[in-house]
Structure 1
């Protein structure tokens, strides 16, 4: 498994293609021109931390999901997750902001099926994760050692905190300009990766454990398909060849809905 940092120029084609698009449309994230597009819907968690798909929520309210629906619309909630409809689904939080690990792996298995073993991919990591730069955004808790004095415990805590706040990446990444896709927070560090890393990403091992965030952007070297998951979104968007999108739609491990390149997510379904 391997990944290596590359210049943001490798993703500039996305910025150039999407810069003039209506920000609510699919092609504001995934460039126009692909044969077909699909939304892979992120499940929510119920009170027992079990995955709940959109179809279950919709069925409970007799709601028919459309390509443009946000999860809040399906569940009868506002953007903060508070009920605004009498029959609102209140047994779950808002959806996860990335696909669960098994669903991500299932998606990638479909995307790379039949690809050359040596095929390389470009993956984008959202630059907003605290572990990347470390610093004061990272805090720790540490129980005092009864065998140590107060001063020794303070020193031990400060040493542990300093270790936790070290950046996960080196200056060659931290000092490089990220890919900027607009909106202030849509900034990404780009890496070249193999298929194994794409399916099982591991960016770093930190005091908080393994950092396995799913790539926010991914595409093969030939750009035959591209996926995008923006920060805090309720779905992952994918554009690609018709046969590939059909395979994703037929994947039983994923909840999907086909969209058009000009579908305005969160608005009417006109233009699909």
Structure 2
């Protein structure tokens, strides 16, 4: 499995292509010019942590799901997840802010097939605390009854220092992040292979394996691109018709085709 930092200049083409796009349209995330685009909807979770599709929520309210809908519109909720309609769907949390692992693995197979042995560039959102470590990371450690207060404090400080270690070297972090604007849209870029795309593992830290899904990814030749905005309810892919068709036909993925200028959140 390959994972190597690359300069944020590897994503400059995205900045250039999206600079003049309407910030509410698909092409503010995935550049204009791809043959087709698709929006993959992130499931919500019910009380038993089972995945719930948007279609199930829409059907419960006789809502016709459109390409531009936000989950809140479908469910009759406000942006905080509070009901604003009498028939609001209240049996789940808001959708996950990334595709769950099982759905990512399925999507990755389509991306790998469309890439024909090329390398990939994958972006990790720069806001994860484990990347740089430091004081943002705090831990709890149960005192050991067999140790003195001083010994417990020393054990805590040792564990805290381990947890606060950065996941990546200072040389890698010095390259900086790709800045796409909008406050949260900052990503560390890596060259990765198909094995990584299929099963991402960014780092092994004191908190365990860091397996966040890439927030953006693209083939080395830019033939397709994927984007999941921080805290968003969907993943958008632009690419050739064969790739988009494969995603739309996959019964495990809840996907809906969008246009270059679809304005997400403006369905009415």
Shared fold (TM-score, shorter chain, > 0.5): yes
Q: Relative to 1, partners in 2 of residues 1:113 and 1:237: Cα closer, same or farther, differing over 3 Å?
A: same
Indicate conservation of the 8 Å contact 2:67/2:256, yes or no: yes
Where does structure 1 differ by over 6 angstroms across 4 or more consecutive aligned residues?
none
Q: Distance in 1 between matches of 2:139 and 2:43?
A: 30
CA distance in 1, matches of 2:43, 2:201: 22
Aligned residue for 1:94?
94
Deviations, residues 43-95 of structure 1 (Å, cap 9, x unaligned) = 01111111111011111111110000000000101111111111000011110
1:48 maps to which residue?
48
Contact kept in structure 1, 2:115 and 2:219, CA below 8 Å: no
The Cα of 1:115 is off from its aligned counterpart by 4.1
Aligned match of 2:263: 264
Contact 1:44 1:95 (8 Å CA) reproduced: yes
TM-score (norm. length: structure 1)? 0.96
How far the C-alpha of 1:139 sits from its partner, in A, is: 1.1
Q: Report 1:108-257 matches (<5 A).
A: 108-113=108-113, 115-117=115-117, 119-257=118-256
1:244 & 1:202 partners in 2: Cα distance? 24
Match of 2:28 in 1: 28
CA deviation string 1:141-184 (max 9, x = no partner): 11111110011101100110111011111112222221100112
How far has the Cα of 1:114 moved from its partner?
Answer: 5.8
Residue matched to 1:14? 14
Is the contact between residue 216 and residue 227 of structure 2 (CA under 8 Å) also seen in structure 1? yes
Q: Which residue of 2 aligns with 1:70?
A: 70
Contact preservation (8 Å) 2:35, 2:238: yes
- Asked if structure 2 preserves the Cα contact closer than 8 Å seen for 1:126 and 1:189, the reply is yes
State the distance in 2 between where 1:27 and 1:174 align: 29
Deviation at 1:116, TM superposition (A): 3.3
Alignment: residue pair count: 268
The RMSD of aligned alpha carbons is: 1.0
- Which residue of 2 is the match for residue 83 of structure 1? 83
Preserved contact between residue 19 and residue 181 of structure 1 (Cα < 8 Å): no
Q: Aligned-pair distance for 1:208?
A: 1.6
| Alpha-carbon distance in 2 for matches of 1:250, 1:9 | 35
Cα distance in 1 for partners of 2:224, 2:167 equals 30
CA displacement, residues 101-147 of structure 1 (integer Å, 9 cap, x when unaligned): 11001001012226434x21011110000110111111111111111
Partner SS state of residue 113, structure 1: helix
**SS of alignment partner, residue 13 of structure 2:** helix
Unaligned runs of 5+ residues in structure 1 are: none
How far apart, CA to CA, are the structure 1 residues paired with 2:3 and 2:171?
Answer: 14
For 1:20 and 1:115, locate their aligned partners in 2 and report how far apart those are by CA, in whole Å: 28
For each residue in 1:185-239, what CA deviation from the matched residue of structure 2 results, as whole angstroms up to 9, or x when unmatched? 1110000000000111101111221100001111111111100001000000000
